[in-house]
Structure 1
Amino acid sequence: MPYDFDLLRELTETSGVPGYEDRVRDVVRREFENEVDRVESDGMGNVVGTIEGSGDRSVVVAAHMDEIGFMVRHVTDDGYLRLDALGGWDARVLKAQRVTVHTENGDIDGLIGSPPPHTMDEKDLEGKDEVADVHVDLGLDGDEVEERVAVGDLVTTRQTTELLGEHVTGKALDNRVSVFALVEAARRIDDPEATVHLAATVQEEVGLRGAKALGVDIDADLAIGLDTTVANDVPGFEEADHVTALGDGAGIKLKDSSAIANPKVHRHFRALAEEHDIDYQMEVLPAGGTDTAGLQFAGGATPAGAISFPTRYLHTVTESVHAEDVAAAIDLLVAALEAETDGADYTL
């Protein structure tokens, strides 16, 4: 691969739910340390690696560190855990999944229970799954669970990141693949004209909160969001509803439900992709928002665009991206940052 797959695997397998991104933040700081001019963090937990440019312009690129997960809301007398969702889950995918409970005294492995179909009637089988109905079984008796687990402890799914043919599959590719792109860009950018702020943000999955705060603190001339996007190029969807397709290149966002990309910005990205022979596809996402919106107007009227990683099975424990799309998106990001000059003008 033309990039550091071991680091991508580490980032995706590391746990970090909204508001508790500590472990991921540590990896980002470690990787930024020798690649940028300075590393800073704020009271919310955003981490920004800055590469000083030779000119007067600045660019901020945001990729969120948090993954969807859970918080323990109740421990039963029998030792089962009831959960509250952190981020948008489809509860149908949770049955029989292995999880990790993150306590103050260490991690505990567990699983989400799923009753056998032999004991379920037709009403049970057709009922709507809800996160509130999920229970985590730790294989321990109630007294030991009470000693080791507290309300407020965090829970993440337990999954390895693997190559599956030409695809990379695992948990938290949304949005660790974009965090990985920040690091790869930091490694590749050499003497930019614009100062580049590479921001690993927090709490995107619960309302773009980290990016909204960061947009106030960093007054950039251009904001770029990095995130995954829907690839419904699988059975059961009409071609018009695919949004993107794996293997067709980096996504250049036109719109999602939270932001409309500045026309000059997305046209510039498209021209760069064609100039550098980078595969790309235009993205119109009917639902779902990204940090692009969090940055776009938090500190005023900032021109904004986004580069996306087409992803199948979003918000499940087995998300999938195409290895070559990852390379294309990183190449496009680097090209955009190196092309940013004092003469750039995205006003409309």
Structure 2
Amino acid sequence: MTSFDFDYDLLVELTETHGAPGYEDTVRDIVRRELEPEVDSIESDGMGNLVGTVEGDSDYSVLVAAHMDEIGFMVRHVDENGFVTIDALGGWDPQILRAERVNVRTDDGDLPGVIGSVPPHTGGEDDDEERTVHDVKVDLGLPAAVVEERVSVGDLVTMAQRTEALGECVSGKAIDNRVSVFIMLELARRIEDPDVTVHFAATVQEEVGLRGAEALGVDVDPDLAIALDTTVANDITGFEKWDYITELGEGAGIKLKDSSVITNPKVHRRLRAIAEDEDIPHQFEVLPSGGTDTGGLQYSHGALPVGAVSIPTRYLHTPTEVAHGDDIAACIDLTAAFLETEDGSHDYTL
């Protein structure tokens, strides 16, 4: 297996754990376990955001945020034949859901299921027919009476997919955004005796509207915020160079904009200067569509200077997302260097 310059086993554990929006508790348990020994205090709120704080030598504070949730589904009905219909939590392309394995989380434990696909022998499905998530049926392989007894409206459904090393890359479900949660935990291990207070926030419900990040303003009032998230890498056959957004293996993404935010120019310029000074591979991200916690943090704190470090990822919002090991390492190095050189004296006003 490929050898990575980071704790690959922890990344696998995070990405293979199930945590749909609003129900991130199993992921939060891992984050709490890993974060608690590295911080001075740790708290959670009524939405489920988890914040670990390393106290600095000044009142100036920096928030580093990464969302814990993955796109998933909620059970909306069990029909008379025992098939489960679902509602989307986050952005899905229904066309990719055929023949996928899923995990149904019930009060009595998890149940494996499949989203079936009618075989071509019968011609039962029209490839040109437009489908929605509401057309999807989950088959649990159980009698209807058993399904009705064990599965309830509101139960959560997530993709069942192992995380695997893929050449120099890592592939699996929930790379978005557990890879960023992983990076945040690595930063907490590295940052010791900072000049400023650092809040490490694992946020919730990003995939359904940046909700956890916006709510953080109730309890945390930082002077600066840095979000960690995945971004599009369309560096595959069929796309023009200008549509790549980012490229795998080319380094950490420094976000300039997405649909939710235009990052503070002084923040992203300082990220660039650090990357150049430290010889950390980096690239710039201009994302035409899609938002991140960066925007949620900026909104909730008014005129807060924000920046973001992004992990280039192919096949986002599918069960086979792919990130490059070198890019993950570069994102850790860049954000760590940024935090280690933040002393509260930088002027980010425009």
TM-score when normalising by structure 1: 0.98
Q: Give the secondary-structure state (helix, strand or coil) at the position aligned to 1:252.
A: strand
* Residue in structure 2 matched with residue 31 of structure 1 by the alignment: 34
Q: Give the secondary-structure state (helix, strand or coil) at the position aligned to 2:300.
A: coil
Q: Give the secondary-structure state (helix, strand or coil) at the position aligned to 1:185.
A: helix
Residues 216 and 299, structure 1, Cα contact 8 Å, conserved in 2? no
Unmatched segments (≥5 aa) in structure 1: none
Deviation at 1:125, TM superposition (A): 1.6
Matched, 1:179 2:181: yes
* Residue in structure 2 matched with residue 212 of structure 1 by the alignment: 214
* Residue in structure 1 matched with residue 267 of structure 2 by the alignment: 265
Amino acid at match of 2:74: M
Deviation at 1:251, TM superposition (A): 0.1
Matched, 1:304 2:297: no
* Residue in structure 2 matched with residue 110 of structure 1 by the alignment: 113
Which among 177, 183, 189 is matched to residue 191 of structure 2? Answer: 189
Q: How does 1:88-103 map to 2 (within 5 A)?
A: 88-103=91-106
- Aligned-residue Cα RMSD (Å) equals 0.9
Deviation at 1:113, TM superposition (A): 1.0
Matched, 1:333 2:332: no
Matched, 1:148 2:150: yes
- Aligned equivalents of 2:179, 2:199: Cα separation in 1: 18
* Residue in structure 1 matched with residue 16 of structure 2 by the alignment: 13
Which among 70, 75, 81 is matched to residue 72 of structure 1? Answer: 75
Partner deviation per Cα, 1:252-273 (whole Å, 9 max, x = no partner): 0000010001000000000011
Which among 236, 239, 264 is matched to residue 237 of structure 1? Answer: 239
- Aligned equivalents of 1:233, 1:278: Cα separation in 2: 21
Deviation at 1:276, TM superposition (A): 1.0
Deviation at 1:65, TM superposition (A): 0.2
- Aligned equivalents of 1:120, 1:252: Cα separation in 2: 47
Deviation at 1:215, TM superposition (A): 2.8
Q: Give the secondary-structure state (helix, strand or coil) at the position aligned to 1:125.
A: coil
Amino acid at match of 2:56: G
* Residue in structure 1 matched with residue 55 of structure 2 by the alignment: 52
- Aligned equivalents of 1:266, 1:342: Cα separation in 2: 16
- Aligned equivalents of 2:280, 2:11: Cα separation in 1: 21
Deviation at 1:128, TM superposition (A): 1.3
Q: How does 1:243-322 map to 2 (within 5 A)?
A: 243-322=245-324
* Runs of 4+ in structure 1 over 2 Å off: none
Residues 280 and 328, structure 1, Cα contact 8 Å, conserved in 2? yes
Unmatched segments (≥5 aa) in structure 2: none
Q: Percent identity?
A: 67
- Aligned equivalents of 2:79, 2:92: Cα separation in 1: 23
Amino acid at match of 2:16: E
Which among 24, 31, 44 is matched to residue 41 of structure 1? Answer: 44
Partner deviation per Cα, 1:197-218 (whole Å, 9 max, x = no partner): 0000000000000000003421
Partner deviation per Cα, 1:268-293 (whole Å, 9 max, x = no partner): 00001111110000100000000001
* Residue in structure 2 matched with residue 345 of structure 1 by the alignment: 347
Residues 215 and 297, structure 1, Cα contact 8 Å, conserved in 2? no
Partner deviation per Cα, 1:210-237 (whole Å, 9 max, x = no partner): 0000034211110111100000000111
Deviation at 1:300, TM superposition (A): 2.0
Partner deviation per Cα, 1:134-178 (whole Å, 9 max, x = no partner): 000000110011111111100011001110101100000000000
Partner deviation per Cα, 1:56-115 (whole Å, 9 max, x = no partner): 210001100000000000000110000000000011111010111000010000100100
- Aligned equivalents of 1:164, 1:61: Cα separation in 2: 29
- Aligned equivalents of 2:255, 2:176: Cα separation in 1: 16
Residues 215 and 296, structure 1, Cα contact 8 Å, conserved in 2? no
State how many pairs are aligned. 347
Partner deviation per Cα, 1:283-324 (whole Å, 9 max, x = no partner): 000000000011113122100010000000000000000000
